[in-house]
Structure 1
């Protein structure tokens, strides 16, 4: 509550109202004291008139008049003459004299505060001019104890009234500020929080509705900012998707171009045709440049692959195409590639995507074995169960390092050593998932690595299996 805008505003309102009441309280008490003394002077004037009208005022009547007025002595001054009209014994010497005839506001406030803070009763003398007698001065002597008590009671009433007024004012201001300012600000904050959860959702862009001009201007500025940010995020997402698509295409295109380069190299070595010998170097340079371009685009992000065009295809033919391309690359690497695929084994898959999956797995295995002087062996095995078609790609390589295992299918986490891009397993994993299957690392270690591809036999959404 205290940390909220409305709570702090409530506290500040109470403080400022009380401060204003204090500023009113001081002159009010001073004015009360002045009125109190003038009232005593008026009563003293009336008592003096009664005493002057009867020359034979007995002591009992004189004492009664002084007690009624609340003073000890009454003195009248006219010109230079001074007449003691009524008098009684004063319990202590006069401590101070207050002249109300020419007293300023500062003097009245100072004397009032001095009366409030003193800790004992004193006898004071007051000089004033009675009403309708400008040439007459009345001098009265009285105790300031009753005066101080009356001032304290009056001040207490003022403070209680001030507290009630400040409380009501604070409540009304709190309600008004909460209604007019705090709630619209909270609405803006909620709109910002909602937008932060899903900035790409255009429904979460704030709609300006505040009645306060400044808040409405802030809402309009926020709406403009959110609109621009949403458009920027969409544009960034499109660019990321485009970059990811280009990266994947470049990765696989580079592999295809590498194979074409190997064939062109072999053709250059074996062909005796003069035209071929003249054109093949240019072809090789073009392929090299294309490979460089593909490698330069592999820094882009990922996107989803297009849906696979599923059909029943012979697994052996796809595996043979993969082996034929990789054997040529492994000719000088002491790497052998074997296969064990049943001749009658057909799988439901997109042949192009399945070729890319197997090509990436075999290529990664070959690149790992190429780092070893003794080379190694790659095996592609196929089998089927009642629920799945299973393809295993294994090698006798050194196994995957721990970091590669921790980030196995993350993009750009290459596990094949120098020359790898880290996209092969990522692409293969995504393509297999698009078929509804799984690509898992079964084992890896000094004896070799084995990956397993599982493609489901069941057809989702059809009444009967194929």
Structure 2
């Protein structure tokens, strides 16, 4: 299955447009927060201006003993200048009224008391005016310029509402201009500091992914010391490692194919030689009888080495297929394949509980147990009579975090060279002529199951622990 090829987005269809949209949205949110108190203040000032005309009218009324004697032209000018239908002046419990020649009978009257100037009242009043239906009459109430005087104006709300909408449009135009200018400035700055470097990184990763063997595509880091600079340097180092690793793996793959072919032919040749050595061993010649066992042992070792190399080369990278497996039975099968079961001189103890069931790949995990048990048997056989009652024991410890399977023997232990090169193919063998592939394969399989294979140092013998996560346990 081929991977879907990624395409670098257009400059104004990727991160850039998201950044611009975010900047503009944030600016508009800020403008909205600023707009509400601003429009409330505008409404209050508008009401105060109209109320000042009412205060002037109140002075006129206060100076004239008989209001009815005022010329109609004067009262009309007072009302027109205030844009009001009527002005009421209250003082010491008495009220005086100036109204149009043809009084207007309002249907809906809403009161705006300029004496209440708390923030909530101002905001609610502004929103009420903006959202109000047309045709309402506004009753403006406020204090006069003398003590204990009160002035009221009756006027249509439409002029106030219209002026508030005009003011809002002005604020909107200014806000849009500020948002555009700020977004452009921030975009240019962010483009220089962030967007352009990120696009450069993205473009380089896409190009390098298509041709990782092309060394000229390795990114050249900039001298920046911030997070972008760190990403560039780390990406360059990673691409260099990948480039070197691919070249090394290509060489190893070519070499491996040649070695596999040579090894296959060598194994066939050694098998033929082994058949001949078996026939030679049946001769009665004393020299032949003395040399034949050495020849057979040498050929067996050479065939084993060739077979180990072939097995290691055939190891696949397929992930384990997990399924419930009884560990005690799997250990018995591995001990049989490792020629530990029924061994004439080496005892074997399987202390795994019958109820222990783990979600593992039976074939792969059985290979891990087989390699460990086989290594333990070979170590005890090499020690010979130097070990009293040689024995291999498998124990299991369960905890809340892990399941530990321990494979231990009472043999001579690992030599220093083997300890220094544990789990290293062709170097970590504990016996002469060994390949060290068994432990390398066992570790890879254990790690593929999410676990760890560790060597436990102890005074006598050798012990390896297979530590698997507790999540692999199957509840009984």
TM (norm. structure 1) is 0.55
Give the C-alpha shift of residue 205 in structure 1.
3.8
Residue by residue over 1:419-460, the C-alpha shift from the partner in whole angstroms, topping out at 9 and shown as x without a partner, is: xxxxxxxxxxxxxxxxxxxxxxxxxxxxxxxxxxxxxxxxxx
TM (norm. structure 2) is 0.54
The CA distance in 1 between the partners of 2:292 and 2:215, in whole Å, is 56
How many pairs were matched up?
299
Tell me the secondary structure at the aligned position of residue 118 of structure 1.
coil
Within a 5 Å distance, the mapping from 1:235-384 to structure 2 comes to: 236-237=249-250, 240=253, 243-261=256-274, 274-299=286-311
The CA distance in 2 between the partners of 1:118 and 1:70, in whole Å, is 19
2:98 is aligned with 1:109: no
The CA distance in 1 between the partners of 2:146 and 2:240, in whole Å, is 83
Structure 1 residues 19 and 90, CA gap change in structure 2 (3 angstroms): farther
Within a 5 Å distance, the mapping from 1:133-148 to structure 2 comes to: 133=146, 136-148=149-161
Structure 1 residues 45 and 210, CA gap change in structure 2 (3 angstroms): farther
Structure 1 residues 219 and 134, CA gap change in structure 2 (3 angstroms): farther
Tell me the secondary structure at the aligned position of residue 310 of structure 2.
coil
| Aligned counterpart in structure 1 of residue 70 of structure 2, from 48, 53, 57 | 57
Please say if residues 101 and 129 of structure 1, whose CA atoms lie closer than 8 Å, have aligned partners that are also in contact.
yes
| Aligned counterpart in structure 1 of residue 33 of structure 2, from 2, 10, 23 | 23
Give the C-alpha shift of residue 134 in structure 1.
6.1
2:99 is aligned with 1:87: yes
Structure 1 residues 278 and 69, CA gap change in structure 2 (3 angstroms): closer
The CA distance in 1 between the partners of 2:127 and 2:85, in whole Å, is 24
Please say if residues 180 and 212 of structure 1, whose CA atoms lie closer than 8 Å, have aligned partners that are also in contact.
no
2:11 is aligned with 1:11: no
Tell me the secondary structure at the aligned position of residue 128 of structure 1.
strand
Within a 5 Å distance, the mapping from 1:41-80 to structure 2 comes to: 41-50=51-60, 56-78=69-91, 80=92
The CA distance in 2 between the partners of 1:71 and 1:231, in whole Å, is 88
Residue by residue over 1:378-418, the C-alpha shift from the partner in whole angstroms, topping out at 9 and shown as x without a partner, is: xxxxxxxxxxxxxxxxxxxxxxxxxxxxxxxxxxxxxxxxx
Within a 5 Å distance, the mapping from 1:193-232 to structure 2 comes to: 193-199=206-212, 203-209=216-222, 211=224, 213-230=226-243, 232=245
The CA distance in 1 between the partners of 2:251 and 2:269, in whole Å, is 27
Please say if residues 85 and 104 of structure 2, whose CA atoms lie closer than 8 Å, have aligned partners that are also in contact.
no
The CA distance in 2 between the partners of 1:57 and 1:145, in whole Å, is 29
Q: Which consecutive residues of structure 2, in runs of 5 or more, have no partner in the other structure?
A: 1-9, 315-476
The CA distance in 1 between the partners of 2:188 and 2:171, in whole Å, is 25
2:43 is aligned with 1:33: yes
Tell me the secondary structure at the aligned position of residue 86 of structure 1.
strand
Within a 5 Å distance, the mapping from 1:367-446 to structure 2 comes to: none
Give the C-alpha shift of residue 213 in structure 1.
1.6
Tell me the secondary structure at the aligned position of residue 117 of structure 2.
coil
Tell me the secondary structure at the aligned position of residue 62 of structure 1.
helix
The CA distance in 2 between the partners of 1:35 and 1:211, in whole Å, is 54
Give the C-alpha shift of residue 171 in structure 1.
2.9
The CA distance in 1 between the partners of 2:35 and 2:267, in whole Å, is 90
The CA distance in 2 between the partners of 1:76 and 1:58, in whole Å, is 18
The CA distance in 2 between the partners of 1:175 and 1:195, in whole Å, is 28
Please say if residues 245 and 301 of structure 1, whose CA atoms lie closer than 8 Å, have aligned partners that are also in contact.
no
Structure 1 residues 176 and 261, CA gap change in structure 2 (3 angstroms): same
Give the C-alpha shift of residue 275 in structure 1.
2.6
Structural RMSD (CA): 3.4
Equivalent in the alignment of 1:151: 164
Structure 1 residues 112 and 210, CA gap change in structure 2 (3 angstroms): farther
**Bigger shift: residues 202-211 or 104-113:** 202-211
The CA distance in 2 between the partners of 1:300 and 1:241, in whole Å, is 16
Larger Rg: 1
The CA distance in 2 between the partners of 1:82 and 1:184, in whole Å, is 78
Please say if residues 254 and 294 of structure 1, whose CA atoms lie closer than 8 Å, have aligned partners that are also in contact.
yes
